């Protein structure tokens, strides 16, 4: 396990993923009924943008660094407020964003396998009474905790793609999770290096019986060795999410050095 998110936190892919995460959580908050959030690959929760890792890659500077002055409304504005609230040198990861958006009736379970990042995450989330950290395999955490008694919620699956069979692992984990919790919203992140692998993964998700899902693609102009294209598969997207993310991408893409025409939202099954 070599991957450390500290090298990549706040990059273009995080910006799109975390704006989408915020949009889903704000949507779930519209109803009074409690919801649960499951973050299977949570990372450390909070990242030092002045640290060695962030400086080495420069990804945060080219990502969230370009968005500091952006004024936006809706979920994009809410996410940016949350980021700015952490101060200029710090970036909040997915479990911290989720923890901050929970209401007293909601809860979060965040799994992280790397012992050091899991420890940092425990410290980061210690102040949030309704957030629990599991040190270990996030796919197992999902199997052990779905369906949630609340019957409403979000599952975020955001693996590091260090292993060759990550798409297969994620596909299996999704199928199991969806079988138990078909009404949940799912945010599934993937890199777009292995295009055929991504297509097979879409096929597996559809084969699970999903009736409503969209896909977000985004890419930036980048030097060869860096990740330059990524996607998010969103199963059971909330009503209005498609339009909101289309609008958000049109704002984010030029600021993040988006490749021409490479940011798009498309239905893969069902539509509004
Ligand atoms: C892409 S990062 C997560 C970033 C985080 N979701 C965010 O948006 O801020 C992936 C994380 O998964 C962790 N990891 C790798 N394999 C795992 C597994 N099987 N279960 C849980 N965590 C895992 C890595 O240590 C890494 O911190």
Alpha helices in 31-152 (DSSP H): 52-57, 59-62, 74-85, 94-101, 115-125, 138-145
**String of b and e for 31-42 (b: at least 16 CB within 10 Å)?**
eeebbbbbbbbb
Name the residue of 159, 165, 166 whose CB sits within 8 Å of the most ligand 1 atoms, as the mutation to test its pocket.
Answer: 159
Residue 272 has pLDDT above 90, yes or no: no
Name the residue of 21, 99, 112 whose CB sits within 8 Å of the most ligand 1 atoms, as the mutation to test its pocket. 112
Summarised one tens digit per residue, pLDDT across range 28-63 is 999 999 999 999 999 999 999 999 999 999 999 999
Banded model confidence at residue 225, pLDDT cuts 50, 70, 90: low
Q: Pairing between strand 36-39 and 229-235?
A: unpaired
pTM above 0.95, yes or no: yes
Backbone φ/ψ region at 98: left (φ over 0), alpha (ψ -120 to 50), beta: alpha
- 158: annotated active-site residue: yes
d(CA 121, CA 48): 13
Q: What digits encode the pLDDT tens for the residues 65-103?
A: 999 999 999 999 999 999 999 999 999 999 999 999 999
Q: What is the pLDDT of residue 224?
A: 64
User: Which residue owns the Cα nearest ligand 1 atom 8?
Assistant: 94
- Segment 206-231 shows an average pLDDT of 88
């Amino acid at each position: 396990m070599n991957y450390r998110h500290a090298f990549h936190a706040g990059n273009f892919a995080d910006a799109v993923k975390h704006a989408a995460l915020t949009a889903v959580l704000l949507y779930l908050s519209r109803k009074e009924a409690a919801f649960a959030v499951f973050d299977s690959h949570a990372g450390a929760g909070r990242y030092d943008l002045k640290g060695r890792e962030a400086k080495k890659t420069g990804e945060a500077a080219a990502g969230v660094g370009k968005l500091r002055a952006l004024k936006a409304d809706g979920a994009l504005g809410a996410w940016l407020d949350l980021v700015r609230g952490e101060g200029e040198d710090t970036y909040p990861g997915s479990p911290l964003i989720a923890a901050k958006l929970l209401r007293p009736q909601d809860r979060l379970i965040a799994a992280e396998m790397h012992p050091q990042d899991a420890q940092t995450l425990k410290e980061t989330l210690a102040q949030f009474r309704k957030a629990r950290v599991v040190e270990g395999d996030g796919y197992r955490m999902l199997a052990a905790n779905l369906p949630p008694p609340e019957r409403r919620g979000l599952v975020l699956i955001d693996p590091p793609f260090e292993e060759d069979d990550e798409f297969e692992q994620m596909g299996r984990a999704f199928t199991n999770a969806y079988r138990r919790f078909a009404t949940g919203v799912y945010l599934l992140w993937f890199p777009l290096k292995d295009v055929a692998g991504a297509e097979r993964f879409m096929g597996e998700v559809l084969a699970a019986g999903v009736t409503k899902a969209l896909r977000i693609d985004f890419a930036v102009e980048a030097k060869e060795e860096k990740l330059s294209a990524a996607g998010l598969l969103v199963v059971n997207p909330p009503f209005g999410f498609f339009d909101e993310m289309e609008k958000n991408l049109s704002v984010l893409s030029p600021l993040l050095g988006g490749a021409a025409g490479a940011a798009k939202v498309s239905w893969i099954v069902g539509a509004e």
